[in-house]
């Protein structure tokens, strides 16, 4: 009987094992100095109450998809082209929204590859694959 139940309602944990996992960190710069790196939690809680309505989970899923698409762009574009990519400009806005960072505050983000489906990275380690320059900085010439 239990196996019949699993047939009707499969485990979605199978999909958790596919692809690569990324860790995203960001930091801000204020008048007091540069803040420590903060990790962005992309864990999506799965509860029955959130089966049909889970806005926070949807935001995290969207952000995770944006990061995956951005990493794909890193593989095919050079550095100058990356800076012109819409995803490069959207990631900081999303960080500001999720973490209540005041708009236009200088912000930097970095992306680590935590787990590779190809097995090239040892389990438990992380590999830095991208670190942005400081974003939202006002140039002296732009302030005039």
- The residue range of the domain holding 116 is 18-131
Task: Determine, yes or no, domain membership for 7.
Answer: no
Contact 22, 68 (CB under 8 A): yes
Q: What is the pLDDT along the chain (144 residues), one digit of tens a residue?
A: 445 444 455 555 545 545 678 889 999 999 999 999 999 887 766 776 666 777 777 888 888 889 999 999 999 998 889 988 888 888 888 888 888 888 778 999 999 988 655 445 555 678 899 999 998 876 433 433
Task: Determine, yes or no, domain membership for 143.
Answer: no
How many residues belong to the chain? 144
Structure tokens at 66: 């944006």
Contact 7, 112 (CB under 8 A): no
Task: Determine, yes or no, domain membership for 104.
Answer: yes
Task: Determine, yes or no, domain membership for 123.
Answer: yes
**CA–CA distance, 56 with 8 (Å, rounded to integer):** 27
Q: Full-prediction pTM beyond 0.85? A: no
Task: Determine, yes or no, domain membership for 87.
Answer: yes
């Amino acid at each position: 009987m239990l196996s019949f139940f699993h047939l009707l309602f499969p485990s979605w944990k199978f999909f958790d094992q596919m692809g690569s996992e990324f860790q995203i960190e960001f930091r801000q710069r204020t008048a007091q100095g540069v803040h420590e790196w903060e990790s962005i939690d992309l864990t999506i809680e799965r509860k029955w109450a959130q089966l049909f309505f889970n806005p926070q989970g949807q935001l995290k899923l969207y952000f995770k998809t944006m990061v995956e698409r951005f990493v794909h762009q890193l593989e095919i574009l050079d550095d100058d082209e990356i800076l012109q990519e819409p995803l490069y400009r959207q990631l900081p806005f999303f960080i500001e929204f999720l973490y209540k960072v005041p708009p236009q505050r200088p912000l930097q983000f970095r992306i680590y590859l935590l787990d590779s489906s190809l097995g090239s990275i040892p389990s438990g380690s992380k590999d830095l694959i991208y670190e942005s320059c400081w974003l939202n900085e006002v140039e002296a010439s732009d302030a005039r």
